[in-house]
């Protein structure tokens, strides 16, 4: 029924986890195709350990494609997508529960005209899985035009990686060259904006696809040129200027949680407003690249210097694990939707949570309370994945020698 396509590059251990989670599914009517984009590590050996299961197959490209969309396009051109239903899952991702495929199969059998399925998303920060709980639900069956503005916003925050094969082919979903963006990677909703008018969708609640927040994966977000062009070409797929501007504002916003927004303001909000007037310009593809080059030349060196300093202060996964193993009394900062899950994770591992601190929410201890109780605190766990929040608090606590555990981990380049 399903063909699970797994693009991979130099992430053998994460790939092993991904394939293991697939193999443990209660629903068995699937095949797995691992597409190796010229890995130089032991990826082949990892995959070979699964090939005794005849549902698993492996193909290694002779030339590196560059990113997963191009890997998928190559697979399409080679006729590899030979199942009615295609599920894409990256090597650093995994299914949170063993009944993931079973619940998806049930919804497909219920609505025989759907061609796109959405599920909930979660994140894995070095073996700490965090789910987006308490979010508004989408209808079980819908088309894009049936959704309210709030529901459309929620749809953007789901994982939509389960496609009818015909929808992928007819929409050119993975064909970034066709959409004028061959040199970049689409962000967020770019390709989906062309997909939605053709899609009849279903949403499966309580089924979560976990994104692996891998330190090396953020490297593509350290390039002003690539980010500005990727976001610009993503938004350019919008069907009108208003939606185009809305997508620009979201991703260029100074509050957007990427490392480019961590250290200083580079004018992303103003850039969104400026580009709005170029939406109908026949040379938008050239204009966005020229503007991106100016921003990159202006900010790149300063940013990379600050990023390297910050990255060196972050713990590796082994360093964080060792700190948590040797810590008993822990403070959590700040209060957010993930805090309770992190607290449960730590308490399950025998840790004592002294208190939760947050300088902006009522009813919580403050940063000053951390300093006053520093002699009783083994470490502070920063519960946010937002780089700016982590950067600011890490620097403040570092001055007083307070040990810190973070979700964001060091990229050991």
- What pLDDT digit, counting tens, does each position of 158-200 carry? 888 999 999 988 887 777 655 555 556 655 566 687 788 889 9
Same domain, 192 and 240: no
- Of the pLDDT bands very low, low, confident and very high (cuts 50, 70, 90), residue 263 is very high
Q: Is 224 exposed, middle or buried (0-12, 13-18, 19+ CB in 10 A)?
A: buried
**Would you say the pTM of this structure is higher than 0.85?**
yes
Are 271 and 346 contained in the same domain?
A: no
Q: Structural domain tally of the chain? A: 3
Condensed to tens digits (0 to 9), the pLDDT of residues 220-246 reads 889 999 899 989 988 888 878 998 998
What is the structure's pLDDT at 180?
56
Same domain, yes or no, for 9 and 87?
Answer: yes
Q: Would residue 148 count as lying in a domain?
A: yes
Picking from 311, 342, 373, the residue at the C-terminal end of a domain is 311
Residue 107 covered by a domain: yes
pLDDT > 70: what percent of the chain?
A: 96
Shared-domain flag, residues 190 and 105: yes
Determine the pLDDT at residue 351: 98
Mean predicted confidence (pLDDT) in 373-381: 97
Domain finish residue from 162, 196, 213: 213
Which of 311, 334, 369 terminates a domain? The answer is: 311
In DSSP terms, which residues pair with 381 in a beta bridge?
332, 405
254 domain residue, yes or no: yes
Q: Is 74 part of any domain?
A: yes
Cα 41 to Cα 37, 247, 318, distances in angstroms: 11, 37, 20
In a domain, 412, yes or no: no
- Domain extent at residue 82: 2-213
Q: How far apart are CA 121 and CA 193, in angstroms?
A: 19
């Amino acid at each position: 029924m399903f063909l699970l396509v797994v693009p991979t590059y130099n992430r053998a251990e994460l790939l092993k986890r991904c394939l293991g989670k697939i193999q443990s599914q209660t629903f068995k009517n699937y095949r797995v195709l691992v597409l190796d984009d010229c890995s130089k590590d032991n990826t082949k050996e990892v995959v070979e350990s699964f090939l005794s299961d005849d549902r698993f197959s492996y193909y290694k490209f002779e030339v590196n494609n560059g990113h997963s969309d191009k890997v998928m396009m190559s697979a399409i051109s080679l006729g590899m997508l030979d199942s009615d239903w295609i599920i894409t899952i990256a090597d650093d991702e995994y299914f949170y529960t063993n009944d993931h495929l079973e619940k998806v199969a049930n919804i497909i059998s219920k609505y025989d005209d759907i061609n796109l399925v959405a599920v909930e998303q979660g994140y894995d920060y070095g073996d700490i899985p965090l789910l987006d709980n308490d979010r508004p639900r989408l209808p079980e069956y819908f088309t894009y035009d049936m959704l309210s503005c709030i529901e459309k916003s929620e749809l953007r925050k789901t994982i939509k990686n389960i496609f009818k094969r015909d929808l992928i082919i007819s929409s050119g979903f993975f064909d970034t060259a066709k959409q004028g963006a061959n040199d970049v990677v689409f962000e967020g909703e770019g390709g989906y904006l062309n997909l939605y008018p053709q899609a009849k969708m279903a949403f499966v609640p309580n089924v979560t696809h976990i994104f692996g927040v891998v330190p090396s994966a953020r490297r593509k977000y350290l390039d002003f040129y690539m980010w500005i062009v990727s976001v610009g070409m993503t938004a350019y797929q919008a069907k009108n200027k208003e939606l185009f501007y809305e997508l620009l504002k979201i991703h260029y916003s100074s509050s957007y949680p990427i490392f480019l927004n961590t250290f200083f303001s580079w004018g992303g909000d103003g850039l969104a407003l400026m580009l709005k007037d170029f939406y109908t310009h026949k040379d938008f593809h050239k204009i966005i690249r020229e503007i991106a080059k100016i921003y990159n030349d202006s900010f790149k060196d300063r940013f990379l210097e600050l990023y390297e300093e910050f990255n060196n202060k972050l713990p590796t996964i082994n360093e964080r694990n060792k700190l948590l193993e040797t810590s008993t009394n822990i403070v959590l900062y700040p209060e957010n939707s993930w805090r309770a899950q992190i607290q449960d994770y730590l308490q399950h591992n025998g840790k004592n949570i002294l208190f939760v601190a947050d300088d902006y929410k009522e009813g919580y201890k403050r940063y000053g309370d951390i300093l006053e109780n520093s002699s009783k605190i083994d470490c502070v766990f920063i519960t946010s994945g937002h780089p700016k929040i982590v950067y600011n608090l890490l620097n403040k606590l570092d001055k007083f020698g307070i040990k810190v555990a973070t979700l964001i981990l060091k990229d050991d380049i």
